[in-house]
Structure 1
Amino acid sequence: MSAIAWTAAGSLAAWLWLLLGQGFFWRTDVRLPPRRDPDDWPYVCVVVPARDEAAVLPESLPSLLAQDYPGRAEVFLVDDGSTDGTGELAHELALGHGGLPLTVTSPGEPPAGWTGKLWAVQHGIGLARARAPEYLLLTDADIAHRPDSLRALVAAARTGGFDLVSQMARLRAESAWERLVVPAFVYFFAQLYPFRRIGVRGSRTAAAAGGCVLLRTEAAERARIPDAIRQAVIDDVALARAVKGSGGHVWLGLAERVDSVRPYPRLGDLWRMVSRSAYAQLRHNPLLLAGTVIGLLLVYGVPPAAFLLGLAAGDLPAAWVGGLAWALMAGTYLPMLRHYRQPLWLAPLLPFTAVLYLLMTVDSAVQHYRGRGAAWKGRTYARPETVPEES
């Protein structure tokens, strides 16, 4: 066989391993586990960090205030230095919609060593703990919840004995770029952190989705949340690792009752979302970056390249092996496209999307070495930290 055919064979072997040996990451049936209503519904405090969220708050906050929860619950919205009237709008929405009690507060600028979001979460959790809730629901300001969302989360946590229950919100996928990039974002996340492994006691795999995290207060205190992760840019994964590392039981799956209402209509919007934290995910390690680039090219770039080059050069082994690897790749992407209700013809375009993510990751590293670090909503973190892997 030619060198192209052998390279394609290596890619095919990688896809066979991903298909069967990576926790069946491509399946989308990991939803809230079986649950039953508890005899007594625990007290829950909802903490919502918000910075310049006036555009999305009218869709998200009323959904929280309208929760059909049988127990006691209240909402703390922490206005993190907004300049668009987020706090004032939250008050107006609460007056207009009613529902759960709402407290709007502001912690001021974060001190050195804290990211803005986690400083807001720290402030909100501090206020909530004074009420002695059994659970904390940490949710982002762009997340809309169905009326029974909190009820289902608490029932799942109580039934399964989980210290942390998190759902990956269904992100918006309406514009052309969102359709191309957003389902792949969740697909790649699940490939890195297979959901099935996260919920297994004793497994080292830990992750959460920051838009929706129900956390037992006792587990938060044991894991020193959020102080222990105060510098983390990828705070959801760091949170889950801290909880699991302190003996907590963690669960993550795809959402049925939780949706993100934040639009990313242009490629630049999606680019900034990914690149702001991509290099932090690699622990700012140039060797990991080089390995990631090579791995992405081998796994995602080689199959279509071998197929097309093989056809053009009459190299049938290369075309066959490359085509088979490409088909296998596309097949693993189909469940995620169905979950996002997207046309299935997008599946063969996954290599193109993977190259986009590769470029976003390289750009993230470039910005880091230029001293710009992770930038988000007017703040720049020159060297964000991630929580190291558990030993």
Structure 2
Amino acid sequence: MSAVAWTALVSLAAWLWLLLGQGLFWRTDLRLPPRRDPEDWPYVCVVVPARDEAAVLRESLPSLLAQDYPGRAEIVFVDDGSTDGTGRLARALADRHRGLPLTVTWPGEPPAGWTGKLWAVRHGIAHARTAGERKRGPRARAAGREGGSDATGQVPEYLLLTDADIAHEPDSLRELVAAARSGGFDLVSQMARLRVASMWEQLVVPAFVYFFAQLYPFRWVAKEGGRTAAAAGGCVLLRTEAAERAGVPEAIRHAVIDDVALAGAVKRCGGRVWLGLAERVDSVRPYPRLADLWRMISRSAYSQLRHSPALLVGTVLGLAVVYLAPPVTLVAGLVRDEPIAAAAGGAAWLIMTATYLPMLRYYRQTLWLAPLLPMTALLYLFMTVDSAFQHYRGKGAAWKGRTYKRPDRAEAAPDQ
């Protein structure tokens, strides 16, 4: 057989494995697990890190303020050095819409070794804890040290970490807490439905979630004792005790892909993690141009590969064999009259297309986009290579005016 035929057969074998052996990653029916209302609703603190988010805040923040939660809940909005009036707008929206109590706070610039978002999250968590301690008073704090019941409910039992561009339906917090309590999960995360409006969003966004699920199959994430751990940073309900046990966010302070690092830290300490697709949690951030999507993906792609040239080469070859080879070998087999190459390439492309259909349905997109997945994969290949290129130019992992170093270099830098 020719090299074309062998390539087509390897690609087909890869797709058969992905179809049957990769945790059924292509299925989109994994929603919040079965749940029931708890007898007592725990105290929850919502931590919202934000940097220059005034453009989206009017769509997202009112949805948090309007949460229909039966227990005690409050919002700590951490303005991470915004220059567009984000903090002032957050206070104005809270005054206008009322709802959950909201506190705006400022963390200052992150020290060396910290990403801005995780420094803001740390500040928000610390603020929630100290606020609870202040409200308890000296007698309650003494009772807490002695194990007395007066200490219960004063420090948040759960933290909802959510981004400033995420809009929640009114029952979102209630459903998350019920799912965590009912299933005994330490971390419950929903991948917010991303905005899909422009042509480029239609082509790239559903594939982004598809590729993420392929890399971190959601069913494997929920498996106790399994090694796969992931979360979606836009919506993470985290048990405070589990965060303390895992030492987060300090333990992951340099992580650019902080949601995956957070889930990994919780799971390594024996915590139970659940991740699934959202139905009532949406991102309102627009990515109308290819350049916007390119910047969003390429800023962390090489970090995902641990800044390893070997992993970069392997990823490029893998994308080429798995996604690009099927249509290429199909056409080449037809042109060169090689039936094995044509049949194997066509079968691989058919499986690829079929596994992408559920994600397109989830995003309510035309199913005719499914055969175009190889073209989208080619874009991702270029984005990944560009991410490495920008890293070696000293511009990797850049976001909103900050550029983050490799973790080992960040750790070596002196504290500010």
TM-score normalised to the size of structure 1?
A: 0.98
Give the structure 1 partner of residue 11 of structure 2.
Answer: 11
- Counterpart Cα distance in 2 of 1:253 and 1:247: 20
Give the structure 1 partner of residue 72 of structure 2.
Answer: 72
- CA RMSD, 1 decimal: 1.0
In structure 2, the residue corresponding to 1:41 is in which secondary structure?
coil
Please report how far the alpha carbon of residue 385 of structure 1 lies from its aligned counterpart in structure 2 after TM superposition. 6.8
In structure 1, the residue corresponding to 2:48 is in which secondary structure?
strand
Give the structure 2 partner of residue 364 of structure 1.
Answer: 387
Please report how far the alpha carbon of residue 17 of structure 1 lies from its aligned counterpart in structure 2 after TM superposition. 0.3
Amino acid at match of 2:360: L
Amino acid at match of 1:61: L
- Counterpart Cα distance in 2 of 1:21 and 1:129: 43
Amino acid at match of 2:259: D
- Counterpart Cα distance in 1 of 2:306 and 2:215: 15
Please report how far the alpha carbon of residue 384 of structure 1 lies from its aligned counterpart in structure 2 after TM superposition. 4.6
Structure 2 residue corresponding to 1:224, chosen from 236, 244, 247: 247
Structure 1 residue corresponding to 2:326, chosen from 303, 323, 345: 303
Give the structure 2 partner of residue 382 of structure 1.
Answer: 405
Please report how far the alpha carbon of residue 313 of structure 1 lies from its aligned counterpart in structure 2 after TM superposition. 2.0
Kept after mapping to 1: 8 A contact 2:32/2:179? yes
- Counterpart Cα distance in 2 of 1:373 and 1:318: 39
After superposition, give the CA deviation of every residue in 1:325-378 in whole Å (9 maximum; x if it has no partner).
Answer: 000000000000000000000000000101100110000001111111210001
Kept after mapping to 1: 8 A contact 2:113/2:407? no
After superposition, give the CA deviation of every residue in 1:76-97 in whole Å (9 maximum; x if it has no partner).
Answer: 1000000000000001100110
Kept after mapping to 2: 8 A contact 1:373/1:384? no
Give the structure 1 partner of residue 376 of structure 2.
Answer: 353
After superposition, give the CA deviation of every residue in 1:33-64 in whole Å (9 maximum; x if it has no partner).
Answer: 00000000000000000000000000000000
After superposition, give the CA deviation of every residue in 1:103-134 in whole Å (9 maximum; x if it has no partner).
Answer: 00001111111111111000000011222010
**1:1-391 correspondence runs (5 A):** 1-130=1-130, 131=132, 132-384=155-407
Structure 1 gaps of 5+ residues are 387-391
Kept after mapping to 2: 8 A contact 1:49/1:121? yes
Kept after mapping to 2: 8 A contact 1:59/1:261? yes
Please report how far the alpha carbon of residue 194 of structure 1 lies from its aligned counterpart in structure 2 after TM superposition. 0.2
- Counterpart Cα distance in 2 of 1:302 and 1:129: 53
Amino acid at match of 1:27: R
Amino acid at match of 1:247: G
TM-score normalised to the size of structure 2?
A: 0.92
Bigger shift: residues 339-348 or 309-318: 309-318
- Counterpart Cα distance in 2 of 1:112 and 1:361: 26
Amino acid at match of 1:364: S
- Counterpart Cα distance in 2 of 1:384 and 1:326: 38
Pair 1:385–1:269, CA change in 2 (3 A)? farther
Please report how far the alpha carbon of residue 316 of structure 1 lies from its aligned counterpart in structure 2 after TM superposition. 2.1
Amino acid at match of 2:252: I
Amino acid at match of 2:244: E
Kept after mapping to 1: 8 A contact 2:60/2:166? yes
Who wins on radius of gyration, i.e. which is larger? 2
Pair 1:116–1:198, CA change in 2 (3 A)? same
- Counterpart Cα distance in 1 of 2:296 and 2:167: 19
Amino acid at match of 1:212: C
Kept after mapping to 1: 8 A contact 2:159/2:240? yes
Pair 1:143–1:384, CA change in 2 (3 A)? farther
Structure 2 gaps of 5+ residues are 133-154, 410-416
- Counterpart Cα distance in 1 of 2:224 and 2:280: 26
Which of structure 1's runs of 4+ aligned residues deviate more than 6 A?
Answer: none
- Counterpart Cα distance in 2 of 1:328 and 1:163: 36
Amino acid at match of 1:317: I
- Counterpart Cα distance in 1 of 2:324 and 2:297: 20
- Counterpart Cα distance in 1 of 2:370 and 2:177: 36
Identity of aligned residues (%): 78
Amino acid at match of 1:169: A
Amino acid at match of 1:383: R
- Counterpart Cα distance in 1 of 2:407 and 2:66: 36
Amino acid at match of 2:184: G
Kept after mapping to 2: 8 A contact 1:233/1:384? no
Aligned residues, how many? 386
Kept after mapping to 2: 8 A contact 1:231/1:385? no
